[in-house]
Structure 1
Amino acid sequence: MASEYSLSVVLERIYENQQALEAAIMELTLVAEQQGFAIAGDNARTALDRIGENAGFIKQGLARLRTMEKD
C-alpha cells in the first residue's frame, strides 16, 4: 500500500482537485453563457476541453505509478 504522501497519492489528490475545478468552471460557464457572455463561455469551454484531454493521461500515469509502488 502506498504511504500517505507517496507520489501517487499526492498526484491523485491533485487530480481530484482538478476534477472539482472542472465542475466549478462548468457551472460558471453556464451562468456566463446564460447572461450573454458568449466569448467568455467559449474561452472557458476551451479550457474545459484541455482539462478533459489531460484527464486520461493523468489517470494512466497514476495507474503506472501505483504499479511501480507495488513492486
Structure 2
Amino acid sequence: MPNSDLLPSLLFKINENQLALEAAIMELSNWVEKRGSAEVADNIRGALAAIDRNEEFINMTLAVMMTPD
C-alpha cells in the first residue's frame, strides 16, 4: 500500500482522537462548572468551539479523500 493511501486513514484516526479529547475536556468543563467556576467552564467551551466549527469540513474532506477514484 503506497504511503499516499495511508493519509486519509491517518487523518480519520487523528480526527477521532480529536473528538474523543473534545468529549473528555467537555466532561471536565462540566465538572469545573459544578464546583463553582462557571467562568473557567465558559472559557473551556469557547476554546472547544473551534472543533465544532471545523468538524463538518473535516468530515466532508475525509469522505472525499476516502472515496475510491
- TM-score normalized by the length of structure 1: 0.84
Residue 57 of structure 1 aligns with which residue? 57
In structure 2, the residue matched to 1:31 is 31
Q: Residue type of the partner of 2:46?
A: T
Q: Percent identity?
A: 47
Q: Which amino acid aligns with 2:36?
A: G
Tell me which residue corresponds to 2:47: 47
Q: Specify the code of the residue in structure 2 equivalent to 1:52.
A: D
Residue type of the alignment partner of 1:51: I
With 25-34 and 44-53 compared, the bigger mean Cα shift is at 44-53
Shift of the alpha carbon at 1:13? 0.3
Cα root mean square deviation, aligned: 1.8
If asked which structure has higher relative contact order (CA below 8 Å, sep 6+), I would say 1
Q: What TM-score results when the alignment is normalised by the length of structure 2?
A: 0.86
Q: Which amino acid aligns with 1:23?
A: A
Unaligned runs of 5+ in 2: none
Q: Deviations over 1:23-71 (max 9, x none)?
A: 101100000001111121011111221111111111011011112xx11
In the other structure, the counterpart of 2:22 is 22
Runs of 4+ in 1 over 2 A off after TM superposition: none
**Count of equivalent residues:** 67
Opposite residue 7 of structure 2, the aligned amino acid is L
